[in-house]
Amino acid sequence: MNYDLIIIGAGPAGYVAAEYAGKHKLKTLVVEKEYFGGVCLNVGCIPTKTLLKRAKIVDYLRHAQDYGISINGQVALNWNQLLEQKGKVVSKLVGGVKAIIASAKAETVMGEAKVLDPNTVEVAGKTYTTKSIVVATGSRPRYLTLPGFAEARQNGFVIDSTQALSLEGVPRKLVVVGGGVIGIEFAFLYASLGSEVTILQGVDRILEIFDTEVSDLVAKLLQTKNVKIITNAQVTRANNNEVFYSQNGQEGSVVGDRILVSIGRIPNTECLDGLNLQRDERNRIVLNQDLQTSIPNIYIVGDANAQLMLAHFAYQQGRYAVNHILNKKQVKPAQKLTCPSCIYTNPEVASVGYTEMELKKQGIPYVKTNLVLAHCGKAIADNETNGFVKMMFDPQTGKILGCCIIAATASDMIAELALAMDAGLTLFDIANSISPHPTINEMIADVCKKALFDHFK
């Protein structure tokens, strides 16, 4: 059959691309091999946040006395009920994705796709022809290939982030290999639910892509949950439930009921292996600024291009690719600098723009201002004063260069700053805006007012 567009993958980038294509009357086929909604909806951000919300409630209940509330008896956790609730959330949203694709009048086929040539895709032995192809095949967890890890994985001791969402119970001891975003979220989750958690991090701090204030505060918060963090730990091997590492020339080991390996993700681009596409020195497929491969009617979007593995970044790339196919100017390219990133710990972490260490490394002039949540009436009323808002500005124009927030509502607050950066607003604009009171969000305007006084008299 002939199509205007074949989309391979029905995750965030794929289903949004299908929706946009449908609005513009493109005859579209969506190919999906496993999950409608992709990793994010089924075994990633949505189920993780569902469980993290329950873990946050457990935290509140265990510290109810801090809020003047007495609870008689022990806080009991029903793990199976939590998993059931997670499944219901996922099922509901998967139904929503299927409805979006159906309303776009896109056809769907289940199976693994293989791109045979620039205009032909094979699925389950059948071929489909098309004018354009959007590859939105997502990513998968990266595995450790060190001695013993394959065997430990086969024996059920070593798990990835997908498996960590469906364990038969809360592990008594959990070892997390990797102190990035995924590892830290799971450390918070299982520590809140009662696990004894140890994090093995290969460098000198967790969350090394964030500024040190973020790493330091998150580490302190983890330690209040009795999470042990071992930095500069170079993992060397595994023996079933025991992980060995080298630290400053000394060998150590840690034992866990489960060992979660969270060391990043790998893009799924095998469907394109039969094509002679231009690749870089690391064998990654080269794309231009419009997300086109060296065969211009084939686009790669979302996690599959590994530019920024975030669902909201993928949404914009999916829309942009179809917009480019249509030769329209309605959609802006996704910009990494103004795309916010969030960590759904308790409190949350969110950032957008440059980090301070990036500004220093690149020699970009800046001034900075920060306020701690202990100065915020709403945070004090909520008894949630762990955190801060830090912003960096251009010293000449006052434009926002970057921001990081640690607060209970950081993931909601950061959207205002992403929009402000996209729109080219300055601290003068935000300082003169009126925020509702009392909110934690008003800290953003307060930081800008302080910066105005401190740096722009």
Binding-site residue numbers for FAD are 49, 137-139, 303, 309-312
In angstroms, rounded to a whole number, what is the distance separating the alpha carbons of residues 175 and 101? 40
Cβ burial of 238 (10 Å; 0-12, 13-18, 19+) is: buried
| 32: three-class secondary structure by DSSP | strand
Q: Is 437 an active-site residue?
A: yes
In angstroms, rounded to a whole number, what is the distance separating the alpha carbons of residues 366 and 371? 17
- Specify whether the CB–CB gap between 278 and 101 falls below 8 A: no
Structure tokens at 14: 């794929």
From 24, 63, 375, 437, the catalytic residue: 437
Mark the binding-site residues for NAD(+), compressed into ranges.
Answer: 178-185, 264
Instruction: Return phi, psi of residue 156, to 5°.
Output: 85, 5
| 22: three-class secondary structure by DSSP | helix
- Specify whether the CB–CB gap between 182 and 40 falls below 8 A: no
Buried b / exposed e over 305-324, threshold 16 CB at 10 Å, is: bbbbbbbbbbbbbbbbbbbb
CB proximity list for 108: less than 8 A, separation 6 or greater: 10, 29, 30, 31, 32, 101
Four-residue CA torsion sign, 180, 184, 186, 190: positive
Mark the binding-site residues, compressed into ranges.
Answer: 49, 137-139, 178-185, 264, 303, 309-312
Query: How would DSSP label each residue in 321-376?
Result: HHHHHTT--SSPPP-STT--EEE-SSSEEEEEE--HHHHHHHT---EEEEEEGGG-
Query: 111 to each of 41, 54, 328, how far by Cα in Å?
Result: 19, 35, 31
| 308: three-class secondary structure by DSSP | coil
- Which residues are known catalytic residues? 437
